Structure 1
């Protein structure tokens, strides 16, 4: 931190200090002024953030040709108000929790590191976070390691090992996996207890007890402390039983699995909030990892115990009464019954085919799936049925959960899983209620009462969801059930083939142990040597060509079959590379170079090109006179069959789709027309009709300006359905389009100017600034918003679908108008469209079963 900052941030919490450093120069764009510092000095927490937000807004508003919305979105996390209360919060020792995380990006450029800091986010709980506080960690993502040569990588690694001073703290390198670096604050003005990197590692993984472990396994075992886990019950030392594995003919039949008492599992279920006691869980306890299950043949008394088998223990630790964290069962996943049939990937399908399962079986199952799709969607105009179909086929509930949780969560991967980060909806879409994906749009419009036979915009989105669902079959053959008898009874197993002699000589082996390391360097150099080894292993792991050999295997086996000698060699190489880092294996450069020369020129089969491009190729490129060239094997045949089914379904005339020139929605039209009719009859407020005309004039102008803007950005795409299906979603993701949407949303909310209204109806309408943020509590403002939304819809309903501004700008309001008009027609009919307030709707939109699954 620059010295001139110190006097202003003295005594400020680290979260506040971090934000100041991140946004002000040299990390951020804002030049600190005396006035700004004087404001910061007397504030804390969220108030400091608001001052910084205003400074950023003022800074970008002064720059020419800069989109304020995009720049502010990059630098400011508007949800920090939810993060501040979590900072340094004390959680109970067991149960789910979240943590505040600090992160950034590292770029190696011109022989030096460029550090960019990210806004604070929330992270899932991990053992290291619980032991040492997540706020002492800094996660840095390497942005360009793949493009560096060996000399540059060597220089990068040496720079990454230097201590990093930041916001009054000193961070040192601790661990790395993939391209994520974990730094730990060993000291700082706000840290009462200094802690070395050696102490951090030794606290959870005692090196003296594990010095016979290889450095490669040591690297892998550290990662267990960075798994996403939920701490549950704490066992007493006498409740932890160490038992042997079950071994027959030197084969372990209990690898990674052991029993847990029913009483203990019930307690786990209670802590996790499960409605039922799970039969099994995946977890960690001390230095052990694996699966624990309830043995139905064991005692079902109230005693609490857990068994640890030798195959589960990955490292040793001291049995100390004070080390509660080593006796805490940490749960990664709860075993639940499957919610849908299993699926087969391309490897399994080819194995089954070569094992005796005929192509006919797969095509029959595929046709059954296609017929199921047809029966559920084609010809259907029932909102409830269509909602159920979209929900089941688009994983919408899971997506909602990811958005809900990951709106605040850091994107990091662990050794077991990856927190799928879904970028939160932009501010414009949040304000208008416009969902940023077709599946969500379909569901909310159907729940409001729209139908595809009368609403072209809904019909287009439903068709898009149907197309995406079917196209996903090219990479995920979800239609094939793993345990279908037709597959199982035809399959003939093959004996396990011996390891190809070339495999063993293809790798260099590193058998260096922790003991070898400790005895080879001075005690003062041990910490730095450990850091160096961890980072070096991480880079070797990133360079391991797992994906390359897997791709070569697909190419070779597609061309020559899976029993071809070279196919078997590539399959066995791929298997070796999966855990090569943990075993200390590094592929020899000359081996990879030779294999590259042999396999790089293999032709790409039809099905793999489908998988690569994830789109339907034009028929002109694939067939001449109905004959497909280059089509070999079962995968190519299945892809052609699937493509034919998709084309038949997408072009099926039975799919209820409203004509693009369909009449306006009768309910939205009635809402507007009723007000116009009422205004024409009003003698006491004759100017109300003039105000309605004013609203319609502004709406019409907004539609024309929007159309002009989008034409400039996207060009005239025409009315082709296939173009709309393939390009509309991608274009909406474009930041420039989002910026236009945001600009027009603000115009929509702020026009017509309040002072231009002349009628008594709008006499008491509040100032526009109040309307934007307080309209939910102002009935008059809400009424005006509905009028503007209805007029906007009627002004744009005859435009091309991508130019119908009304949905992007007033989605939530239009859905509310539709549902309320329908409800007024049906009176007390139960089960109609939703018309509850948005806050209640948000609480009800995720099924309980999904919330239960997410708790762990």
Structure 2
């Protein structure tokens, strides 16, 4: 931290005394900046970015004024040359040049878009910065301050899920609230049918099922931390990895009962998650980075959206939005006016900017500012052109300027501000070290104070729920307060519990606490509603989602149970059966199998004593108990008196470092399954990995099984492109009446090196 703040020492040009060269925040030249605002800027120097192109001083243009006649209309966004954008794309390994990048260069941060007037023929490299982008004064002669660092960039547009905050606002501003409610509900039903219907469809083929398990699985996000698969006993700890391992070994999900049971558990977890999230995906909507129109082409209230590829969903297929009304919004959204209905136009000179939403720079107030105080430094806008939603929406009137409401909160003492400037610290401290210490202490001390942002956000949500109004005066006042608190650390906003109590009593007349909305819980309370109808989020969760989830879950369970399913698999007992035949002519083998069964039975008794019905998977106590029993199972060894026999020496494989795959471990697993396959939880948690070895030996036909270490297996994912191609091939073959034998041959050829290109994405 100190190296970022303190001046670095460099030799002077003559090679003599070291002189201090200010770097990073350059405190001496930023004495007019508030301490807390400058401290917050440290995040810009420490955040993760990709360093790309270094520019020369004469390639940088630092504009003196932002655009706009009344307010800043390009807050946080600037332009760059087409050549520079292309070189940055090359540095990032991108095959196409995006319309813009979110990043930083020196003391400037925000968005930079390609200049649409630049045809790229002159190969000029340049970038411009604006006052709204420059966050402090820095030395542009320093090479490190002239390196463009990228945080993200504009990407191909994809259908978006509706933010939960938007839903009550859409209903509040609907011309027909009932129709808006039903439109959103229908989207939810369709989403859930697609999400949950996919799991039933995946049961038809192990490859499709493998892809589905990868899609719904959550455990792989933890793999970089574990560098392997977390195990519970002899199998992966998570259901998704357990199913993946069994499928990869060659088990048939249409026959193996334990596999079917775990699949149902995964499907139910997925269904419960979707129900709890109130997930509503609107196909004709997307999230795009917001940028400003530097050409002045767009009129006030107009936007432009062009796509880099054809945007194709049900009811829409095009590369742009043209001559239609659309909705734009930004999260967080607190007030009905935070969603705006605007006109989407298509002007040829702006079509080079793709996969972004371009806002007009004309008028008195920037459109981004109307969206809960947004700007163009990397904010995402939700853009919706679904006709049933847009045509049923009307803009809310802007009652009072947010700035005026905020000033009133300061004037009336509900909010205070700490405005100590850097220059005051410079005067107080006698050394650079003391100055840096004071600066850092002040920043950390203020930011370690309790934040009330989350609590008040929840309070506002509850208040609007119970008063059934998203646009009341109380909601407006709370939204203004939240707008201040979101930048509390940067702006030095002083707001304590006492301030909150005073604000709550005098401004919004609210109680100290409010009951949670019904949709916070798992089940409705069936409390009568204020206006004879349920809140829209209650309705979506407990009527729409509940019914859709239950219907699809019943269908999934029926699809699984209709396949039958067996606890027994003859492939897993063949090894033990073979040794049982040997025992007829070998006393050593007979004695070995007798002791092995007795030892396994003892471990099974221990399992029944230690693992009770009240134990739940996932609890730490359950994990400890399972691993304790598993260690006992792993410790089962041939009797001492048989250790020197040739049979035992062969089974133990003394030269091998892997005790899990030795013939002894496989025989132990085969015996465990032979005698205790009906106690599935015991058998599979103890011998699961070895049973996979045995199955792979029986499942492999013309091709050998792949050998993959568990740590490497953790990195692998099902190849969506290849699996979907195979699925299409199967459907085509079935339509043409081809035999399954021919289909199997095709699949073997693909496995033998004639498959599809791997797509790691």
How does the TM-score come out when normalised to structure 2?
Answer: 0.68
SS of structure 2 residue aligned to 1:292? strand
- Would the aligned equivalents of 2:719 and 2:759 in 1 still touch at CA under 8 Å? no
Structure 2 residue 514 is the aligned partner of structure 1 residue 602: yes
- Would the aligned equivalents of 2:102 and 2:112 in 1 still touch at CA under 8 Å? yes
- Would the aligned equivalents of 2:446 and 2:489 in 1 still touch at CA under 8 Å? yes
Paired position in structure 1 for 2:624: 739
SS of structure 1 residue aligned to 2:558? coil
State the alpha-carbon separation in 2 of the partners of residues 814 and 281 from structure 1: 51
Paired position in structure 2 for 1:569: 477
State the Cα distance separating 1:355 from its structure 2 match. 1.7
Paired position in structure 2 for 1:503: 409
State the Cα distance separating 1:574 from its structure 2 match. 1.5
| Change over 3 Å in CA distance of 1:324–1:665 after alignment to 2 | farther
State the alpha-carbon separation in 1 of the partners of residues 455 and 243 from structure 2: 39
Structure with higher helix content: 1
Paired position in structure 2 for 1:591: 499
Deviations 1:801-832 (A, max 9, x none): 6xx134444444333433442223xx359xxx
State the Cα distance separating 1:262 from its structure 2 match. 4.3
State the alpha-carbon separation in 2 of the partners of residues 630 and 811 from structure 1: 55
Bigger relative contact order, structure 1 or 2, given CA contacts below 8 A and separation 6+? Answer: 2
Paired position in structure 2 for 1:538: 447
Structure 2 residue 550 is the aligned partner of structure 1 residue 647: yes
- Would the aligned equivalents of 2:254 and 2:564 in 1 still touch at CA under 8 Å? no
| Change over 3 Å in CA distance of 1:707–1:559 after alignment to 2 | same
State the Cα distance separating 1:508 from its structure 2 match. 0.6
State the alpha-carbon separation in 1 of the partners of residues 387 and 455 from structure 2: 35
Paired position in structure 2 for 1:344: 162
Structure 2 residue 131 is the aligned partner of structure 1 residue 310: yes
- Would the aligned equivalents of 1:269 and 1:278 in 2 still touch at CA under 8 Å? yes
| Change over 3 Å in CA distance of 1:494–1:817 after alignment to 2 | farther
- Would the aligned equivalents of 1:213 and 1:514 in 2 still touch at CA under 8 Å? yes
| Change over 3 Å in CA distance of 1:601–1:442 after alignment to 2 | same
State the Cα distance separating 1:554 from its structure 2 match. 0.6
Paired position in structure 2 for 1:845: 717
Structure 2 residue 693 is the aligned partner of structure 1 residue 790: no
Paired position in structure 1 for 2:39: 219
State the alpha-carbon separation in 1 of the partners of residues 502 and 481 from structure 2: 14
- Would the aligned equivalents of 2:255 and 2:563 in 1 still touch at CA under 8 Å? no
State the alpha-carbon separation in 2 of the partners of residues 652 and 775 from structure 1: 43
SS of structure 2 residue aligned to 1:331? strand
State the Cα distance separating 1:576 from its structure 2 match. 1.8
State the Cα distance separating 1:835 from its structure 2 match. 6.0
State the alpha-carbon separation in 1 of the partners of residues 269 and 474 from structure 2: 36
| Change over 3 Å in CA distance of 1:737–1:563 after alignment to 2 | same
| Equivalent of residue 59 in structure 2, options 230, 239, 244 | 239
| Change over 3 Å in CA distance of 1:602–1:304 after alignment to 2 | same
| Equivalent of residue 190 in structure 2, options 358, 368, 381 | 368
| Change over 3 Å in CA distance of 1:733–1:240 after alignment to 2 | farther
| Equivalent of residue 206 in structure 2, options 383, 398, 402 | 383
| Equivalent of residue 822 in structure 1, options 687, 699, 713 | 699
643-652 or 219-228, which moves further after superposition?
A: 643-652
Aligned residues: 592
Paired position in structure 2 for 1:760: 646
The RMSD of aligned alpha carbons is 3.9
| Change over 3 Å in CA distance of 1:774–1:469 after alignment to 2 | closer
Structure 2 residue 228 is the aligned partner of structure 1 residue 325: no
| Change over 3 Å in CA distance of 1:813–1:639 after alignment to 2 | same
| Equivalent of residue 403 in structure 1, options 193, 210, 222 | 222
State the Cα distance separating 1:425 from its structure 2 match. 5.7
- Would the aligned equivalents of 1:212 and 1:514 in 2 still touch at CA under 8 Å? yes
State the Cα distance separating 1:219 from its structure 2 match. 1.5
Deviations 1:185-240 (A, max 9, x none): x9xxxxxxxxxxxx99x532101111111112012111222212232333333333
State the alpha-carbon separation in 2 of the partners of residues 532 and 674 from structure 1: 69
Structure 2 residue 635 is the aligned partner of structure 1 residue 750: yes
| Equivalent of residue 682 in structure 2, options 805, 821, 834 | 805
| Change over 3 Å in CA distance of 1:815–1:600 after alignment to 2 | farther
Structure 2 residue 70 is the aligned partner of structure 1 residue 250: yes
- Would the aligned equivalents of 2:223 and 2:714 in 1 still touch at CA under 8 Å? no
- Would the aligned equivalents of 2:571 and 2:694 in 1 still touch at CA under 8 Å? no
| Change over 3 Å in CA distance of 1:653–1:296 after alignment to 2 | closer
| Change over 3 Å in CA distance of 1:812–1:551 after alignment to 2 | same
| Change over 3 Å in CA distance of 1:653–1:377 after alignment to 2 | closer
State the Cα distance separating 1:368 from its structure 2 match. 1.3
- Would the aligned equivalents of 1:343 and 1:479 in 2 still touch at CA under 8 Å? yes
- Would the aligned equivalents of 1:245 and 1:309 in 2 still touch at CA under 8 Å? yes
State the alpha-carbon separation in 1 of the partners of residues 530 and 266 from structure 2: 28
Q: Unaligned 5+ residue runs, structure 1? A: 1-127, 133-173, 175-183, 187-198, 409-423, 611-615, 718-726
State the Cα distance separating 1:343 from its structure 2 match. 1.2
| Change over 3 Å in CA distance of 1:457–1:267 after alignment to 2 | farther
- Would the aligned equivalents of 1:606 and 1:630 in 2 still touch at CA under 8 Å? no
State the alpha-carbon separation in 1 of the partners of residues 676 and 117 from structure 2: 68
SS of structure 2 residue aligned to 1:284? strand
Deviations 1:754-807 (A, max 9, x none): 746566343245588x76x4458xxxx5333223333334454322x6xx1344
Paired position in structure 2 for 1:471: 272
| Equivalent of residue 555 in structure 1, options 462, 485, 493 | 462
State the Cα distance separating 1:638 from its structure 2 match. 0.9
SS of structure 2 residue aligned to 1:330? strand
State the alpha-carbon separation in 1 of the partners of residues 486 and 445 from structure 2: 18
| Change over 3 Å in CA distance of 1:252–1:756 after alignment to 2 | farther
- Would the aligned equivalents of 1:546 and 1:574 in 2 still touch at CA under 8 Å? yes
SS of structure 1 residue aligned to 2:31? coil
Paired position in structure 1 for 2:427: 519
| Change over 3 Å in CA distance of 1:816–1:264 after alignment to 2 | farther
- Would the aligned equivalents of 1:703 and 1:792 in 2 still touch at CA under 8 Å? no
Deviations 1:692-729 (A, max 9, x none): 45444433332331232122xxxx24xxxxxxxxx84x
- Would the aligned equivalents of 1:377 and 1:655 in 2 still touch at CA under 8 Å? no
SS of structure 1 residue aligned to 2:462? helix
Paired position in structure 1 for 2:489: 581
| Equivalent of residue 240 in structure 2, options 439, 450, 458 | 439
| Equivalent of residue 389 in structure 2, options 487, 492, 496 | 487
State the alpha-carbon separation in 2 of the partners of residues 743 and 678 from structure 1: 29
State the Cα distance separating 1:555 from its structure 2 match. 0.8
SS of structure 2 residue aligned to 1:208? helix
- Would the aligned equivalents of 1:378 and 1:655 in 2 still touch at CA under 8 Å? no
- Would the aligned equivalents of 2:37 and 2:490 in 1 still touch at CA under 8 Å? yes
| Change over 3 Å in CA distance of 1:492–1:693 after alignment to 2 | farther
Paired position in structure 2 for 1:700: 601
Q: Unaligned 5+ residue runs, structure 2? A: 9-19, 286-383, 722-757
290-299 or 550-559, which moves further after superposition?
A: 290-299
| Change over 3 Å in CA distance of 1:806–1:368 after alignment to 2 | same
- Would the aligned equivalents of 1:282 and 1:334 in 2 still touch at CA under 8 Å? yes
Paired position in structure 2 for 1:9: none
